[in-house]
Structure formats: C-alpha cells, structure tokens
Chain A
C-alpha cells in the first residue's frame, strides 16, 4: 500500500508538465493531420495535389539536398575540431570548447543577418574583392544554395561537434598507442583504429544535423531570398500568401513523417537514447 501511494505522488510531479505538453502541443500537432484531410473538402485531395505538383517535388528535392550537403559539411569540419579538442588541445582546450559553444548562444537570426551582411550584392566580401580589383561585377554569393548551405553549416556545426566530442571523451588512447607501438603510422592508426571507434558519435551528430536541417526555416528563408524554397518556407508560402491551409497541412504532415522516418532509420545506427534523451 505505501509503495502504491508513493508512485502516485511521483506521478503527481510528472503530470503537470506532461499534461500541458499533450494538451497544448501534441494535440494541436494532431490537429494538422485533421486539417490536411478536411480542408477545403474531406478526402485525400490535398495529398493527391501534392503528389502531382512539380513545385512540391522540387522543394522536397532541394530540402533533402541542402540538408544532406549541410550534414556532410558539418561532419567533416566538426570532426576535425572535435578530434583536435579531444586529443591535443592542451591548455587552450577550454577556449576551443567555448568557441564551439559561442555560436549556440547567439541567435540564428543574428547569425543569418551576419551572413547577409557578408555575402550580399554589396556585402563586405564583394566590396573587398572589388576593392582589391579581383572581380569587376559582384559575385552572387547568396540567394542561392551556396549561401544557404554555408550559413546552415555555420548554424549546425555545434550540433555535430558536441556528440562527437562526447564520444571521443570515452575512447581510451591505449588502442592507438598499441597500433603505433606495432609500427602503424599516425595516419594508419587513426584510420584503422581510432576512426571506427568514433562512428557512434559521428552518427549521432549526423542525425541531429540532418533532422534539424530538414525542418529549418530562418536561415534558408533569409539567405535563399525565395530562390531556395525549402519545404518549411514552401509551407508558410502556401498558408500566408494563398491561405491554402489544406495543402500547407498536408505538406507539414509529409515533412513530419519524413523526419520520423529519418529518425527511425537512424535508430538502427544510433543509440537514440543517448543521442537525444540523455545528452548533457
């Protein structure tokens, strides 16, 4: 009897947060599925329209391509940073970690603004290149996928570095030492012994960056200038410009399902619990 009432009390602590999350978050999210099947007419019309539309197809292709390139970029750059911090940073380690975390604390909006200032037609990069006589007419550095991907890598990089660093912290140096002692070169020991051990961290980083990139709105909307229409921007377009709630909701449901599928596939390679639920 006392054990039962204890359990009851613990649930009393859990329930308020859980209840507001279900009522005000999960429930409205389910509402989107209903809208996609009900507006303007009941049925699968919105999904049929979506499947027929070339614009939607293009938008999904762009979304996955941008998310993919961003993920690869973040993994390569992030790995180098995580490796250097974990293995030979020495006294400057806190400084390096702070530099990784710093962009986290500066809002995505401000970081995107910085990139606009840098990459615009009369932005700092173009001005500098023209001033130096390297180019005659301004380069197109934004309002294209290049600008979007560059800024997105900048935004997403910490999400790749942190899981990789957490993983590398747990790797004992004795395996690499043994390989080196047996005559392997530094590169070979890295490639054959160290790198395979870091795969869990790489995969967690890849999952986080890819999932966040799929649904990203702010940076593509500001740096893309309407020319790199990722699916999130396409949805707001449908709703704000055309008040097309049915199609917008159907697209949202599809994006949600796509995200869930990516996570489900990733679950085979990544320990979701440590990647999402228990990250420090």
Chain B
C-alpha cells in the first residue's frame, strides 16, 4: 500500500514527538560518566567517580533509604485506606458516595504549593514538622486519590450480581468483601500501590515545606544539589533511576 502524505505526516510527527519525550531524559547517562568535576559531557574518558561519590556519601545513602522506606509505608497505608474506601463507595454507588469520591481526589487538583502551605501550618500546631510521621501522613493523603481511582476502575468490571449472590447464600458483608470483592480489586490495588510509592518517592514541594534538617528524602537532596551547586552526583542518581525505569518498561513490553 502506498504511503500517503497524510500518513507520513502523522507517523513521522509521532516518532519525532516520542523522541522529544525520550531523548532529553537520556542525556543524564553520558553526563553521569563524565571525568570532569562539573556537569558536562565526558572530556577525555569515561569515569565512574560520580557513582563512587554517590555510594560513598552517607548523606545520599541516608536520603535514598529514607525515600524508599517512607515510600513503602505510604504505599501500604494508602492502599489499605484507599481500597476500603473504593470498595465501600462501589457498594453504595449513591450520590453521597460520589461526593466522597470527589473529596478524595482533591489533592490531584490543588496546586502543590497551596496544599503544602496548609500542611505546614497544620503540622506546626500538631508538632509534626520535620518528623518522618509528618511526611508519611502528607504523602499518604497525596497518594489516596490514585489508589481510590485505580481500585474503583478495577471494580467496574465486577458484576454486581456476584456479591449479591454471595450475600443471599448467607455470607456476611465482611465475608463477601474478603472472598468476592477484594480478589476482583487486586489488579487495581497493585496499580494503586505502585502509584502511591512513586507519588511519595518523587514528592518534593511538600517535603520542602514540612521538613527542616531532620528528614531528608532523595528528591530534597537532589533539589538542594541543583540549587546550591550543580554536582554531577545528581546525574549518577538520575541515571540509575532512569535506567531502572527503562528496564521495568522494557520487561513490561516484552511480557505483553
């Protein structure tokens, strides 16, 4: 079949746009291997010095672990609360539960700086500033919309007559939820948990407002690095995260 200009325009255009999405992300890779002490492409040869600097820096290591464990706690909490919420709303499916669902997604729409201001003032009165718990609470709130949306989407495929059948055969509400609804919600829970982890792992504005010196997450460390001195260590951290993302994405494509 002959390629029309119409098709050529859209196909070429699409690949150019996809290149625009991908290539800028990849520049961190050569930069991380630079043999210079400033940000730039390698001059005389490749060097792993900035990776060594990352792994030998107690500050970077501590920030990485903090982000990982806080992300895991947030994923667990948000998935538990968000799944219960979505299942309850799915059963109710009335006007009040729709209002509740709208309330739960407000964090998606409110500008990050505005919500962080709110967090800061309230966390001061609660004594949560610069505590791990304060960060976990804030991140759980920000992650809840994603969990509730993905679990609700998973339940859209569940036939309402199945839990009704379970109930009429004598199962209690809890038994029905456990044996019928939760299994149907699992794909949504997994997506939601991954989203929740990433929301927490990447979150920066809230952390800038509600932490001082005690709690430092990876994004905060990167932010400070960019603000103060642009240090190629950031490029090595960025490269590891980008390569990890590429590997996960490649595995997912190949498994399809």
Q: Nearest chain A CB to B125's CB is how many angstroms away?
A: 9
Contact call B6/A31, Cβ cutoff below 8 A? no
Report the bound CA distance from A109 to B119 in whole Å: 21
Q: Nearest chain B CB to A7's CB is how many angstroms away?
A: 7
| Most chain B Cβ neighbours within 10 Å, of A18, A87, A186 | A18
A80-B10, A94-B253, A110-B241 as given contacts; A13 in contact with B85, CB under 8 Å = yes
Contact call B103/A249, Cβ cutoff below 8 A? no
A85-B14, A110-B242, A252-B117 as given contacts; A118 in contact with B24, CB under 8 Å = yes
Is residue A197 contacting chain B, with contact meaning CB distance below 8 A?
no
Report the bound CA distance from A158 to B235 in whole Å: 24
Is residue A271 contacting chain B, with contact meaning CB distance below 8 A?
no
Is residue B113 contacting chain A, with contact meaning CB distance below 8 A?
yes
Is residue A88 contacting chain B, with contact meaning CB distance below 8 A?
yes
Contact call B103/A22, Cβ cutoff below 8 A? yes
Is residue A195 contacting chain B, with contact meaning CB distance below 8 A?
no
Contact call A117/B85, Cβ cutoff below 8 A? no
Contact call A13/B87, Cβ cutoff below 8 A? yes
Contact call B111/A107, Cβ cutoff below 8 A? no
Report the bound CA distance from A233 to B106 in whole Å: 21
Is residue B49 contacting chain A, with contact meaning CB distance below 8 A?
no
Is residue B63 contacting chain A, with contact meaning CB distance below 8 A?
no
Contact call A106/B253, Cβ cutoff below 8 A? no
The chain A residue with its CB closest to the CB of B198 is A105
Contact call B27/A277, Cβ cutoff below 8 A? no
Contact call B223/A109, Cβ cutoff below 8 A? yes
Q: Nearest chain A CB to B170's CB is how many angstroms away?
A: 12
Contact call A26/B103, Cβ cutoff below 8 A? yes
Report the bound CA distance from A105 to B149 in whole Å: 18
Top 6 A-B residue pairs of the complex, sorted by shortest distance between their CB atoms: A215-B111, A13-B88, A28-B118, A84-B14, A14-B88, A17-B85
Size class of the contact patch on chain A:
35 or more
Determine the chain A residues whose CB is within 8 A of the CB of B173 once the complex forms: 6, 9-10
Is residue A61 contacting chain B, with contact meaning CB distance below 8 A?
no
Determine the chain B residues whose CB is within 8 A of the CB of A81 once the complex forms: 13-14, 17-18
Contact of B13 among A29, A80, A279 (CB under 8 A): A80
Determine the chain B residues whose CB is within 8 A of the CB of A26 once the complex forms: 103, 106
Contact call B249/A109, Cβ cutoff below 8 A? no
- Offer 6 A-B interface pairs, CB within 8 angstroms, sorted by A: A24-B137, A103-B25, A110-B238, A117-B31, A215-B110, A217-B112
Report the bound CA distance from A117 to B202 in whole Å: 20
A20-B81, A106-B25 as given contacts; A277 in contact with B102, CB under 8 Å = yes
Contact of B122 among A28, A96, A157 (CB under 8 A): A28
Is residue A187 contacting chain B, with contact meaning CB distance below 8 A?
yes
Is residue B256 contacting chain A, with contact meaning CB distance below 8 A?
yes
Is residue B121 contacting chain A, with contact meaning CB distance below 8 A?
yes
Report the bound CA distance from A24 to B114 in whole Å: 14
Determine the chain B residues whose CB is within 8 A of the CB of A122 once the complex forms: 40
